[in-house]
Amino acid sequence: MASEVHVNAETFEAASEEERLQVHEIMTKLRIMDPEDSFVPDDTVAAVDIPDLDALRQQPLPEVVEFGFPGNVLDAIGNAVGGASKEVCKSGCNKAADFALVVCALETAGTGLALCIAGAEAARALCRDRC
């Protein structure tokens, strides 16, 4: 079922359609959003702070596999514990979102970066809610 991923309206509106598509692709490739999920501008959502990009860019990146990292890892964890541990699932969501922040820092800039960071944080919450 498709979900709406609410992000700060000003951040959303400042990003171009190309940047919005790029950020959506990053989040779906990392499997913290489903392809049918969409970003929705929301005036009630606060703008996110941009983290230290140099520190983010120094993070080691795991190899992205065809299935999508860390989604395949999240699937494996869920299968291993039989879906019994919400905390394990939520931890996986946090790791996926943290990884998304690194990808944002490496692959986006300007308004696209702001949307990417906002999207990663909103997708973190969506992923955790789905656990």
Q: In the predicted model, is pLDDT for residue 38 greater than 50?
A: yes
Structure tokens at 92: 């996986």
Structural domain of 10: 4-130
Backbone torsions φ then ψ of 128, nearest 5 degrees: -65, -35
10 Å CB burial of residue 5 (0-12, 13-18, 19+) is buried
Query: What mean pLDDT value characterizes the chain?
Result: 82
- Do 92 and 70 form a contact (C-beta atoms < 8 A)? yes
- Do 82 and 66 form a contact (C-beta atoms < 8 A)? no
Pairwise CA distance, residues 101 & 41, whole Å = 20
- Residues across the chain: 131
Peptide bond preceding 70 in cis form (omega within 30 of 0): yes
Within a 10 A sphere around the Cβ of 46, how many other Cβ atoms? 9
pLDDT score, position 43: 97
Q: Which of 13-22, 28-37, 69-78, 94-103 has the lowest mean pLDDT?
A: 69-78
pLDDT score, position 2: 87
User: What band does 76 get if pLDDT is binned at 50, 70 and 90?
Assistant: low
pLDDT score, position 112: 93
Q: Which of 114, 90, 108, 95 is nearest to 26 (CA)?
A: 108
User: What band does 88 get if pLDDT is binned at 50, 70 and 90?
Assistant: confident
User: What band does 89 get if pLDDT is binned at 50, 70 and 90?
Assistant: confident
**Predicted TM-score (pTM) of this structure:** 0.76
Query: Which of left, alpha, beta for 29 (phi over 0: left; psi -120 to 50: alpha)?
Result: alpha
**Tally of domains within the chain:** 1
